[in-house]
Structure 1
Amino acid sequence: MYFFNKFLILFSFVFSSIDVAAHGDEGRIEFWKKYYNPTIEVIQEKTPSIKIKLHKIGSFYQLESIIKNFDLTPEEDMRNNNSTRGYVKLFINGDFVTRIYHKRFFMKKMPIGNNEIKAILSSNMDHDLTYKNKLVEDTIYYQFPEYNFAEARAKSYDLFVKCEFSSEGQTRLKELNNQGMTLQESSHYLQCVHDSRSNTLDSFKKQMKKYQLAHYNITQDALLKRIDLWKSYEDNQISLNDARNKNKFIEDSIDVQMNEFIAKIKDNGH
Protein backbone atom coordinates (compact mmCIF):
# COMPACT_ATOMS: atom_id res chain seq x y z
CA MET A 1 0.00 0.00 0.00
CA TYR A 2 2.90 2.34 0.79
CA PHE A 3 4.37 1.91 -2.68
CA PHE A 4 0.94 2.29 -4.29
CA ASN A 5 0.31 5.58 -2.47
CA LYS A 6 3.80 6.76 -3.33
CA PHE A 7 3.11 6.02 -7.00
CA LEU A 8 -0.17 7.94 -6.89
CA ILE A 9 1.54 10.95 -5.34
CA LEU A 10 4.29 10.88 -7.96
CA PHE A 11 1.75 10.35 -10.76
CA SER A 12 -0.40 13.28 -9.66
CA PHE A 13 2.67 15.49 -9.22
CA VAL A 14 3.89 14.83 -12.76
CA PHE A 15 0.54 15.58 -14.38
CA SER A 16 -0.12 18.60 -12.21
CA SER A 17 3.28 19.91 -13.32
CA ILE A 18 2.36 19.33 -16.96
CA ASP A 19 -0.96 21.06 -16.45
CA VAL A 20 0.75 24.11 -14.96
CA ALA A 21 3.35 24.21 -17.72
CA ALA A 22 0.70 23.85 -20.38
CA HIS A 23 -1.81 26.33 -18.94
CA GLY A 24 -3.52 28.27 -21.74
CA ASP A 25 -3.34 27.73 -25.50
CA GLU A 26 0.03 29.41 -25.94
CA GLY A 27 1.42 27.59 -22.95
CA ARG A 28 0.25 24.22 -24.24
CA ILE A 29 1.77 24.84 -27.67
CA GLU A 30 5.06 25.96 -26.15
CA PHE A 31 5.16 22.97 -23.79
CA TRP A 32 4.63 20.37 -26.52
CA LYS A 33 7.13 22.10 -28.79
CA LYS A 34 9.76 21.70 -26.11
CA TYR A 35 8.60 18.17 -25.31
CA TYR A 36 8.88 16.93 -28.89
CA ASN A 37 11.76 19.19 -29.92
CA PRO A 38 14.18 19.29 -26.98
CA THR A 39 17.05 21.76 -27.16
CA ILE A 40 20.50 22.13 -25.68
CA GLU A 41 22.04 25.54 -25.06
CA VAL A 42 25.53 26.25 -26.40
CA ILE A 43 27.92 26.86 -23.52
CA GLN A 44 31.33 26.62 -25.18
CA GLU A 45 33.27 29.78 -25.99
CA LYS A 46 33.45 29.09 -29.73
CA THR A 47 29.85 29.19 -30.93
CA PRO A 48 28.78 26.55 -33.48
CA SER A 49 27.30 27.84 -36.73
CA ILE A 50 25.98 26.48 -40.02
CA LYS A 51 25.47 27.98 -43.47
CA ILE A 52 23.94 26.02 -46.34
CA LYS A 53 24.30 26.40 -50.09
CA LEU A 54 22.45 24.58 -52.86
CA HIS A 55 24.35 23.54 -55.97
CA LYS A 56 22.73 22.15 -59.10
CA ILE A 57 24.67 19.23 -60.59
CA GLY A 58 23.05 17.93 -63.75
CA SER A 59 19.49 16.98 -62.87
CA PHE A 60 20.32 16.63 -59.17
CA TYR A 61 21.03 19.04 -56.33
CA GLN A 62 23.81 19.04 -53.79
CA LEU A 63 23.31 20.68 -50.42
CA GLU A 64 26.56 21.97 -48.94
CA SER A 65 26.77 22.55 -45.18
CA ILE A 66 29.46 24.97 -44.04
CA ILE A 67 29.86 24.18 -40.35
CA LYS A 68 32.08 25.83 -37.76
CA ASN A 69 32.92 24.73 -34.20
CA PHE A 70 30.82 21.58 -34.48
CA ASP A 71 31.74 18.01 -35.46
CA LEU A 72 29.54 15.58 -37.39
CA THR A 73 29.80 12.29 -35.49
CA PRO A 74 27.63 9.42 -36.79
CA GLU A 75 29.68 7.00 -34.68
CA GLU A 76 28.32 8.65 -31.51
CA ASP A 77 24.63 8.38 -32.39
CA MET A 78 22.48 8.45 -29.23
CA ARG A 79 25.55 9.09 -27.06
CA ASN A 80 27.29 12.17 -25.64
CA ASN A 81 24.55 14.77 -25.50
CA ASN A 82 26.46 18.04 -25.84
CA SER A 83 26.63 21.06 -28.12
CA THR A 84 29.97 20.28 -29.75
CA ARG A 85 29.06 17.27 -31.89
CA GLY A 86 26.13 15.58 -33.56
CA TYR A 87 24.45 15.91 -36.94
CA VAL A 88 22.39 18.19 -39.18
CA LYS A 89 18.60 17.96 -39.34
CA LEU A 90 17.25 18.73 -42.80
CA PHE A 91 13.75 20.15 -43.27
CA ILE A 92 12.04 21.08 -46.53
CA ASN A 93 8.91 23.20 -46.25
CA GLY A 94 8.66 22.39 -42.56
CA ASP A 95 8.80 18.61 -43.04
CA PHE A 96 11.69 16.59 -41.64
CA VAL A 97 13.62 14.91 -44.47
CA THR A 98 16.71 13.23 -43.03
CA ARG A 99 19.78 13.43 -40.84
CA ILE A 100 22.95 14.65 -42.50
CA TYR A 101 26.35 13.45 -41.32
CA HIS A 102 28.43 14.80 -44.21
CA LYS A 103 29.17 18.28 -45.44
CA ARG A 104 27.72 17.50 -48.87
CA PHE A 105 24.36 15.83 -49.36
CA PHE A 106 22.80 14.84 -52.70
CA MET A 107 19.10 15.57 -53.22
CA LYS A 108 17.51 13.60 -56.06
CA LYS A 109 14.16 15.37 -55.98
CA MET A 110 12.98 18.89 -55.30
CA PRO A 111 9.32 19.75 -54.64
CA ILE A 112 7.70 22.00 -57.23
CA GLY A 113 7.27 25.59 -56.10
CA ASN A 114 9.06 27.96 -53.75
CA ASN A 115 10.83 25.73 -51.22
CA GLU A 116 12.09 26.53 -47.74
CA ILE A 117 15.21 24.50 -46.96
CA LYS A 118 16.24 24.54 -43.30
CA ALA A 119 19.25 22.91 -41.62
CA ILE A 120 19.50 22.70 -37.82
CA LEU A 121 22.49 21.54 -35.81
CA SER A 122 21.46 18.79 -33.41
CA SER A 123 23.25 16.83 -30.71
CA ASN A 124 23.74 13.08 -30.89
CA MET A 125 20.75 12.76 -28.55
CA ASP A 126 18.43 14.68 -30.91
CA HIS A 127 18.55 17.96 -28.98
CA ASP A 128 18.57 21.00 -31.27
CA LEU A 129 21.35 23.46 -30.52
CA THR A 130 20.37 26.91 -29.31
CA TYR A 131 22.45 29.98 -28.62
CA LYS A 132 20.85 32.74 -26.58
CA ASN A 133 17.57 30.83 -26.95
CA LYS A 134 17.73 30.86 -30.76
CA LEU A 135 18.19 27.75 -32.89
CA VAL A 136 21.59 27.28 -34.49
CA GLU A 137 20.29 26.91 -38.03
CA ASP A 138 20.29 28.31 -41.53
CA THR A 139 17.44 28.66 -44.01
CA ILE A 140 17.49 29.24 -47.74
CA TYR A 141 14.73 29.42 -50.35
CA TYR A 142 14.76 27.83 -53.78
CA GLN A 143 12.24 28.02 -56.61
CA PHE A 144 11.80 24.80 -58.59
CA PRO A 145 11.72 24.85 -61.51
CA GLU A 146 13.75 28.02 -61.79
CA TYR A 147 11.39 29.38 -64.46
CA ASN A 148 7.64 29.90 -64.96
CA PHE A 149 5.38 28.16 -67.49
CA ALA A 150 5.94 30.72 -70.25
CA GLU A 151 9.70 30.54 -69.76
CA ALA A 152 9.50 26.74 -69.69
CA ARG A 153 7.80 26.67 -73.09
CA ALA A 154 10.48 28.95 -74.52
CA LYS A 155 13.20 26.79 -73.00
CA SER A 156 11.55 23.66 -74.38
CA TYR A 157 11.50 25.17 -77.87
CA ASP A 158 15.18 26.14 -77.64
CA LEU A 159 16.10 22.58 -76.66
CA PHE A 160 13.91 21.22 -79.46
CA VAL A 161 15.72 23.37 -82.04
CA LYS A 162 19.09 22.15 -80.76
CA CYS A 163 18.01 18.56 -81.42
CA GLU A 164 18.41 19.34 -85.12
CA PHE A 165 20.79 22.28 -85.34
CA SER A 166 23.41 21.29 -82.78
CA SER A 167 26.65 19.88 -84.18
CA GLU A 168 25.53 16.40 -83.13
CA GLY A 169 22.14 16.89 -84.76
CA GLN A 170 23.66 18.11 -88.01
CA THR A 171 26.07 15.17 -88.12
CA ARG A 172 23.20 12.74 -87.62
CA LEU A 173 21.15 14.54 -90.29
CA LYS A 174 23.90 14.08 -92.88
CA GLU A 175 24.24 10.40 -92.04
CA LEU A 176 20.49 9.88 -92.41
CA ASN A 177 20.32 11.85 -95.65
CA ASN A 178 23.01 9.61 -97.09
CA GLN A 179 20.70 6.68 -96.33
CA GLY A 180 17.68 8.42 -97.85
CA MET A 181 16.14 9.02 -94.42
CA THR A 182 15.08 12.02 -92.33
CA LEU A 183 15.72 13.07 -88.73
CA GLN A 184 12.15 12.05 -87.90
CA GLU A 185 13.28 8.49 -88.64
CA SER A 186 15.95 8.48 -85.94
CA SER A 187 15.32 7.22 -82.40
CA HIS A 188 18.09 9.53 -81.13
CA TYR A 189 16.41 12.60 -82.57
CA LEU A 190 12.95 11.58 -81.36
CA GLN A 191 14.34 10.92 -77.88
CA CYS A 192 15.89 14.38 -77.90
CA VAL A 193 12.55 15.93 -78.88
CA HIS A 194 10.73 13.98 -76.17
CA ASP A 195 13.24 14.98 -73.50
CA SER A 196 13.24 18.63 -74.57
CA ARG A 197 9.58 18.68 -73.60
CA SER A 198 9.47 16.40 -70.57
CA ASN A 199 12.50 17.95 -68.86
CA THR A 200 10.98 21.42 -69.00
CA LEU A 201 7.19 21.04 -69.22
CA ASP A 202 6.31 18.02 -67.07
CA SER A 203 6.55 20.16 -63.93
CA PHE A 204 3.85 22.47 -65.29
CA LYS A 205 1.17 19.92 -66.17
CA LYS A 206 -1.13 21.32 -63.48
CA GLN A 207 -1.00 24.71 -65.19
CA MET A 208 -2.00 23.34 -68.59
CA LYS A 209 -5.59 23.66 -69.77
CA LYS A 210 -7.39 20.35 -70.29
CA TYR A 211 -7.10 20.36 -74.10
CA GLN A 212 -3.48 21.46 -73.88
CA LEU A 213 -2.69 18.74 -71.35
CA ALA A 214 -4.47 16.07 -73.39
CA HIS A 215 -2.54 16.98 -76.54
CA TYR A 216 0.73 17.09 -74.61
CA ASN A 217 0.21 13.64 -73.09
CA ILE A 218 -0.93 12.10 -76.38
CA THR A 219 1.99 13.50 -78.39
CA GLN A 220 4.53 12.52 -75.73
CA ASP A 221 3.12 9.00 -75.66
CA ALA A 222 3.30 8.87 -79.47
CA LEU A 223 6.93 9.96 -79.35
CA LEU A 224 7.79 7.12 -76.97
CA LYS A 225 6.12 4.63 -79.30
CA ARG A 226 7.99 6.04 -82.29
CA ILE A 227 11.28 5.88 -80.37
CA ASP A 228 10.75 2.18 -79.69
CA LEU A 229 9.73 1.64 -83.31
CA TRP A 230 12.84 3.23 -84.81
CA LYS A 231 15.06 1.46 -82.30
CA SER A 232 13.63 -1.78 -83.67
CA TYR A 233 14.57 -0.69 -87.17
CA GLU A 234 18.06 0.37 -86.07
CA ASP A 235 18.50 -3.06 -84.46
CA ASN A 236 17.51 -4.70 -87.77
CA GLN A 237 14.34 -6.17 -86.27
CA ILE A 238 12.00 -4.69 -88.92
CA SER A 239 12.39 -3.31 -92.44
CA LEU A 240 12.44 0.38 -93.32
CA ASN A 241 9.14 0.06 -95.16
CA ASP A 242 7.45 -1.55 -92.15
CA ALA A 243 8.90 1.09 -89.83
CA ARG A 244 7.57 3.91 -92.01
CA ASN A 245 4.09 2.39 -92.23
CA LYS A 246 3.88 1.87 -88.48
CA ASN A 247 5.29 5.35 -87.85
CA LYS A 248 2.56 6.88 -90.03
CA PHE A 249 -0.09 4.96 -88.12
CA ILE A 250 1.23 6.29 -84.78
CA GLU A 251 1.32 9.87 -86.07
CA ASP A 252 -2.20 9.62 -87.51
CA SER A 253 -3.46 8.24 -84.21
CA ILE A 254 -2.64 11.55 -82.50
CA ASP A 255 -5.48 13.32 -84.33
CA VAL A 256 -7.78 10.35 -83.77
CA GLN A 257 -7.17 10.37 -80.01
CA MET A 258 -7.57 14.14 -79.77
CA ASN A 259 -10.89 14.02 -81.65
CA GLU A 260 -12.07 11.25 -79.33
CA PHE A 261 -11.07 13.33 -76.31
CA ILE A 262 -12.90 16.42 -77.62
CA ALA A 263 -16.01 14.38 -78.40
CA LYS A 264 -15.97 12.89 -74.91
CA ILE A 265 -15.70 16.34 -73.33
CA LYS A 266 -18.63 17.60 -75.40
CA ASP A 267 -20.75 14.57 -74.52
CA ASN A 268 -20.13 15.23 -70.84
CA GLY A 269 -21.22 18.83 -71.29
CA HIS A 270 -17.88 20.41 -70.36
Structure 2
Amino acid sequence: MTEGAMRRFATNKGGFLPKEFNIAHDLCFAVHDILAQFLVSGEACDVFTAQITFEDHQAAADFESTADIFEWLEKNQRFQDRARVLKTLVLPAVLSDMLHCIYEALECSRKGKLNISYMLIRKPIQESLFLLESIILDEVAFAEKLATSPIALRPQTATGIEGEHKRRIQQVLETIGQTEAFDAEYLAQLRYVKVEDGFDGLCNKAIHLFTEHKAIKTESLNVNFIFSGWDAKQSQWEFLYSRLPYLLIYMWRVIEYIGDAVCPTHPEYTLDMTRRTAVK
Protein backbone atom coordinates (compact mmCIF):
# COMPACT_ATOMS: atom_id res chain seq x y z
CA MET A 1 0.00 0.00 0.00
CA THR A 2 1.53 3.30 -1.05
CA GLU A 3 1.52 6.39 1.17
CA GLY A 4 -0.61 8.18 -1.41
CA ALA A 5 -3.21 5.43 -1.36
CA MET A 6 -3.26 5.55 2.42
CA ARG A 7 -3.97 9.30 2.34
CA ARG A 8 -6.63 8.85 -0.34
CA PHE A 9 -8.56 6.07 1.36
CA ALA A 10 -8.15 6.58 5.11
CA THR A 11 -10.91 9.17 5.54
CA ASN A 12 -13.20 7.67 8.18
CA LYS A 13 -13.93 9.80 11.20
CA GLY A 14 -15.96 9.01 14.28
CA GLY A 15 -17.36 5.69 15.37
CA PHE A 16 -15.44 2.73 16.72
CA LEU A 17 -13.92 1.21 13.60
CA PRO A 18 -10.25 0.35 14.26
CA LYS A 19 -7.94 2.21 11.90
CA GLU A 20 -6.58 -0.98 10.33
CA PHE A 21 -9.97 -1.44 8.62
CA ASN A 22 -10.26 2.11 7.26
CA ILE A 23 -8.94 1.32 3.80
CA ALA A 24 -11.19 -1.71 3.26
CA HIS A 25 -14.15 0.23 4.67
CA ASP A 26 -13.56 3.13 2.28
CA LEU A 27 -13.04 0.74 -0.62
CA CYS A 28 -16.49 -0.71 0.08
CA PHE A 29 -17.90 2.81 0.13
CA ALA A 30 -16.11 3.65 -3.12
CA VAL A 31 -17.91 0.77 -4.85
CA HIS A 32 -21.17 1.86 -3.23
CA ASP A 33 -20.66 5.41 -4.52
CA ILE A 34 -19.88 4.25 -8.06
CA LEU A 35 -23.10 2.24 -8.16
CA ALA A 36 -25.05 5.12 -6.61
CA GLN A 37 -23.66 7.49 -9.26
CA PHE A 38 -24.73 5.04 -11.98
CA LEU A 39 -28.24 4.92 -10.52
CA VAL A 40 -28.65 8.67 -10.03
CA SER A 41 -27.22 9.65 -13.43
CA GLY A 42 -29.24 6.91 -15.14
CA GLU A 43 -32.46 8.17 -13.63
CA ALA A 44 -31.56 11.78 -14.44
CA CYS A 45 -30.92 10.86 -18.08
CA ASP A 46 -33.99 8.63 -18.26
CA VAL A 47 -32.00 5.61 -19.42
CA PHE A 48 -34.07 3.07 -17.52
CA THR A 49 -36.64 2.82 -20.27
CA ALA A 50 -37.34 0.28 -22.98
CA GLN A 51 -38.48 1.02 -26.51
CA ILE A 52 -40.96 -1.28 -28.22
CA THR A 53 -41.26 -1.28 -32.00
CA PHE A 54 -44.34 -2.30 -33.95
CA GLU A 55 -44.76 -3.77 -37.40
CA ASP A 56 -47.86 -1.72 -38.18
CA HIS A 57 -50.05 1.08 -36.84
CA GLN A 58 -52.76 -1.32 -35.67
CA ALA A 59 -50.37 -3.12 -33.31
CA ALA A 60 -49.18 0.21 -31.94
CA ALA A 61 -52.77 1.36 -31.43
CA ASP A 62 -53.68 -1.88 -29.66
CA PHE A 63 -50.70 -1.49 -27.36
CA GLU A 64 -51.54 2.14 -26.56
CA SER A 65 -55.12 1.22 -25.66
CA THR A 66 -54.33 -1.77 -23.47
CA ALA A 67 -54.86 -1.48 -19.71
CA ASP A 68 -52.12 -3.99 -18.91
CA ILE A 69 -49.02 -3.85 -21.07
CA PHE A 70 -47.62 -7.09 -19.67
CA GLU A 71 -50.82 -8.93 -20.50
CA TRP A 72 -50.62 -7.53 -24.04
CA LEU A 73 -46.96 -8.51 -24.39
CA GLU A 74 -47.69 -12.06 -23.27
CA LYS A 75 -50.80 -12.39 -25.43
CA ASN A 76 -48.83 -11.28 -28.47
CA GLN A 77 -45.83 -13.42 -27.53
CA ARG A 78 -43.54 -10.42 -27.30
CA PHE A 79 -41.38 -12.19 -24.74
CA GLN A 80 -38.14 -10.45 -25.62
CA ASP A 81 -39.84 -7.07 -25.28
CA ARG A 82 -41.30 -8.11 -21.93
CA ALA A 83 -37.83 -9.11 -20.76
CA ARG A 84 -36.33 -5.77 -21.78
CA VAL A 85 -39.11 -3.82 -20.10
CA LEU A 86 -38.80 -5.80 -16.87
CA LYS A 87 -35.02 -5.51 -16.90
CA THR A 88 -35.19 -1.72 -17.09
CA LEU A 89 -37.76 -1.65 -14.28
CA VAL A 90 -36.09 -4.17 -11.98
CA LEU A 91 -32.47 -3.02 -12.29
CA PRO A 92 -32.81 0.49 -10.77
CA ALA A 93 -35.36 -0.64 -8.17
CA VAL A 94 -33.31 -3.58 -6.92
CA LEU A 95 -30.07 -1.60 -7.10
CA SER A 96 -31.57 1.20 -4.99
CA ASP A 97 -32.62 -1.31 -2.35
CA MET A 98 -29.17 -2.94 -2.41
CA LEU A 99 -27.44 0.40 -1.94
CA HIS A 100 -29.62 1.28 1.05
CA CYS A 101 -28.68 -2.03 2.70
CA ILE A 102 -24.98 -1.67 1.91
CA TYR A 103 -24.80 1.94 3.09
CA GLU A 104 -26.49 1.20 6.40
CA ALA A 105 -24.42 -1.97 6.89
CA LEU A 106 -21.19 0.00 6.49
CA GLU A 107 -22.38 2.82 8.72
CA CYS A 108 -23.44 0.35 11.41
CA SER A 109 -20.04 -1.33 11.15
CA ARG A 110 -18.31 2.03 11.66
CA LYS A 111 -20.41 2.50 14.80
CA GLY A 112 -19.63 -1.00 16.09
CA LYS A 113 -23.17 -2.34 15.51
CA LEU A 114 -21.94 -5.43 13.72
CA ASN A 115 -24.99 -7.59 14.32
CA ILE A 116 -26.98 -5.02 12.30
CA SER A 117 -24.28 -4.96 9.61
CA TYR A 118 -24.51 -8.70 9.09
CA MET A 119 -28.32 -8.60 9.11
CA LEU A 120 -28.34 -5.95 6.39
CA ILE A 121 -25.65 -7.37 4.13
CA ARG A 122 -27.36 -10.75 3.75
CA LYS A 123 -30.14 -9.58 1.42
CA PRO A 124 -27.98 -7.85 -1.22
CA ILE A 125 -25.29 -10.54 -1.44
CA GLN A 126 -27.66 -13.51 -1.38
CA GLU A 127 -31.04 -12.53 -2.79
CA SER A 128 -30.63 -9.32 -4.78
CA LEU A 129 -27.43 -10.44 -6.49
CA PHE A 130 -29.04 -13.79 -7.32
CA LEU A 131 -31.88 -11.93 -9.03
CA LEU A 132 -29.50 -9.79 -11.09
CA GLU A 133 -27.47 -12.84 -12.06
CA SER A 134 -30.71 -14.40 -13.33
CA ILE A 135 -31.08 -11.51 -15.77
CA ILE A 136 -27.58 -12.14 -17.12
CA LEU A 137 -28.07 -15.88 -17.45
CA ASP A 138 -31.34 -15.69 -19.39
CA GLU A 139 -33.37 -12.49 -19.33
CA VAL A 140 -36.36 -14.07 -21.11
CA ALA A 141 -36.49 -16.90 -18.55
CA PHE A 142 -36.05 -14.32 -15.78
CA ALA A 143 -39.03 -12.35 -17.08
CA GLU A 144 -41.15 -15.51 -17.38
CA LYS A 145 -40.42 -16.47 -13.79
CA LEU A 146 -41.12 -12.96 -12.53
CA ALA A 147 -44.43 -12.92 -14.40
CA THR A 148 -45.63 -16.41 -13.47
CA SER A 149 -43.72 -17.66 -10.42
CA PRO A 150 -41.54 -15.05 -8.65
CA ILE A 151 -40.67 -17.55 -5.92
CA ALA A 152 -38.50 -19.31 -8.52
CA LEU A 153 -36.12 -16.34 -8.35
CA ARG A 154 -35.17 -17.08 -4.75
CA PRO A 155 -31.63 -18.40 -4.18
CA GLN A 156 -33.12 -21.38 -2.33
CA THR A 157 -34.07 -22.78 -5.73
CA ALA A 158 -30.36 -23.49 -6.28
CA THR A 159 -28.72 -25.73 -3.72
CA GLY A 160 -25.21 -26.87 -2.92
CA ILE A 161 -21.80 -25.31 -3.45
CA GLU A 162 -20.85 -28.16 -5.78
CA GLY A 163 -24.12 -27.82 -7.66
CA GLU A 164 -26.29 -25.05 -8.96
CA HIS A 165 -24.80 -22.01 -7.17
CA LYS A 166 -21.27 -22.70 -8.33
CA ARG A 167 -22.41 -23.64 -11.84
CA ARG A 168 -24.57 -20.56 -12.39
CA ILE A 169 -21.96 -18.15 -10.97
CA GLN A 170 -19.35 -19.67 -13.27
CA GLN A 171 -21.70 -19.09 -16.20
CA VAL A 172 -22.17 -15.48 -15.12
CA LEU A 173 -18.41 -14.95 -14.90
CA GLU A 174 -17.94 -16.37 -18.39
CA THR A 175 -20.70 -14.15 -19.75
CA ILE A 176 -19.34 -10.93 -18.23
CA GLY A 177 -15.72 -11.82 -18.96
CA GLN A 178 -14.52 -11.97 -15.36
CA THR A 179 -13.29 -15.55 -14.97
CA GLU A 180 -9.74 -14.38 -14.28
CA ALA A 181 -10.80 -11.93 -11.57
CA PHE A 182 -13.20 -14.09 -9.53
CA ASP A 183 -13.59 -17.70 -8.45
CA ALA A 184 -17.11 -19.14 -8.82
CA GLU A 185 -16.70 -21.73 -6.08
CA TYR A 186 -15.45 -19.17 -3.58
CA LEU A 187 -18.21 -16.70 -4.45
CA ALA A 188 -20.79 -19.45 -3.91
CA GLN A 189 -19.18 -20.40 -0.60
CA LEU A 190 -19.01 -16.83 0.67
CA ARG A 191 -22.65 -16.19 -0.11
CA TYR A 192 -24.46 -19.43 0.59
CA VAL A 193 -22.53 -21.99 2.63
CA LYS A 194 -22.61 -22.20 6.42
CA VAL A 195 -18.86 -22.58 6.89
CA GLU A 196 -16.25 -20.58 8.78
CA ASP A 197 -15.21 -18.79 5.59
CA GLY A 198 -18.69 -17.72 4.54
CA PHE A 199 -21.25 -14.99 5.26
CA ASP A 200 -24.29 -17.24 5.53
CA GLY A 201 -23.45 -18.56 8.97
CA LEU A 202 -22.62 -15.16 10.44
CA CYS A 203 -25.65 -13.53 8.84
CA ASN A 204 -27.95 -16.21 10.24
CA LYS A 205 -26.44 -15.78 13.69
CA ALA A 206 -26.94 -12.02 13.45
CA ILE A 207 -30.61 -12.49 12.51
CA HIS A 208 -31.51 -15.27 14.95
CA LEU A 209 -30.84 -15.38 18.68
CA PHE A 210 -30.45 -19.15 18.53
CA THR A 211 -29.38 -21.34 15.60
CA GLU A 212 -29.41 -25.12 15.42
CA HIS A 213 -27.61 -26.00 12.17
CA LYS A 214 -24.56 -28.02 13.17
CA ALA A 215 -22.18 -25.56 11.50
CA ILE A 216 -23.55 -22.54 13.38
CA LYS A 217 -25.18 -24.06 16.44
CA THR A 218 -25.45 -21.63 19.35
CA GLU A 219 -23.02 -22.49 22.11
CA SER A 220 -24.26 -23.34 25.59
CA LEU A 221 -24.90 -20.32 27.82
CA ASN A 222 -24.79 -18.01 24.81
CA VAL A 223 -27.11 -15.92 22.65
CA ASN A 224 -25.89 -15.22 19.11
CA PHE A 225 -24.04 -11.86 18.80
CA ILE A 226 -25.70 -10.49 21.95
CA PHE A 227 -22.70 -10.96 24.23
CA SER A 228 -20.08 -9.88 21.68
CA GLY A 229 -17.22 -8.16 23.46
CA TRP A 230 -14.38 -6.22 21.87
CA ASP A 231 -12.46 -9.35 20.83
CA ALA A 232 -15.54 -10.78 19.14
CA LYS A 233 -16.20 -7.49 17.35
CA GLN A 234 -12.59 -7.39 16.19
CA SER A 235 -13.02 -10.86 14.67
CA GLN A 236 -16.30 -9.81 13.04
CA TRP A 237 -14.65 -6.74 11.52
CA GLU A 238 -11.72 -8.81 10.28
CA PHE A 239 -14.05 -11.18 8.47
CA LEU A 240 -16.24 -8.43 7.05
CA TYR A 241 -13.45 -6.32 5.61
CA SER A 242 -11.35 -9.19 4.31
CA ARG A 243 -14.26 -10.57 2.23
CA LEU A 244 -16.86 -7.87 1.56
CA PRO A 245 -14.76 -5.80 -0.89
CA TYR A 246 -14.35 -8.90 -3.07
CA LEU A 247 -18.11 -9.49 -3.12
CA LEU A 248 -18.95 -5.84 -3.75
CA ILE A 249 -16.55 -5.57 -6.67
CA TYR A 250 -18.12 -8.70 -8.17
CA MET A 251 -21.55 -7.12 -7.61
CA TRP A 252 -20.33 -3.97 -9.37
CA ARG A 253 -19.22 -6.01 -12.41
CA VAL A 254 -22.59 -7.77 -12.58
CA ILE A 255 -24.51 -4.48 -12.42
CA GLU A 256 -22.10 -2.85 -14.85
CA TYR A 257 -22.75 -5.60 -17.39
CA ILE A 258 -26.54 -5.29 -17.13
CA GLY A 259 -26.33 -1.51 -17.13
CA ASP A 260 -24.23 -1.52 -20.29
CA ALA A 261 -26.98 -3.47 -22.06
CA VAL A 262 -29.51 -0.84 -20.97
CA CYS A 263 -27.28 2.12 -21.80
CA PRO A 264 -23.76 1.49 -23.21
CA THR A 265 -21.01 3.12 -21.15
CA HIS A 266 -18.06 4.93 -22.69
CA PRO A 267 -14.82 2.95 -22.07
CA GLU A 268 -13.14 6.02 -20.57
CA TYR A 269 -15.85 6.27 -17.92
CA THR A 270 -15.41 2.60 -17.01
CA LEU A 271 -11.65 3.08 -16.79
CA ASP A 272 -12.10 6.11 -14.54
CA MET A 273 -14.38 4.17 -12.17
CA THR A 274 -11.82 1.37 -12.02
CA ARG A 275 -9.08 3.85 -11.13
CA ARG A 276 -11.16 5.06 -8.20
CA THR A 277 -10.99 1.62 -6.60
CA ALA A 278 -7.39 0.81 -7.52
CA VAL A 279 -5.24 0.32 -4.44
CA LYS A 280 -1.58 -0.58 -4.96
Please say whether Structure 1 and Structure 2 have the same fold, judged by a TM-score greater than 0.5: no
Structure number with bigger Rg: 1
Give the TM-score normalised by the residue count of structure 2. Answer: 0.29
Give the TM-score normalised by the residue count of structure 1. Answer: 0.30
- Point out the structure with the larger strand share: 1
- Point out the structure with the larger helix share: 2
Q: Which has the bigger relative contact order, CA under 8 A and spacing at least 6?
A: 2
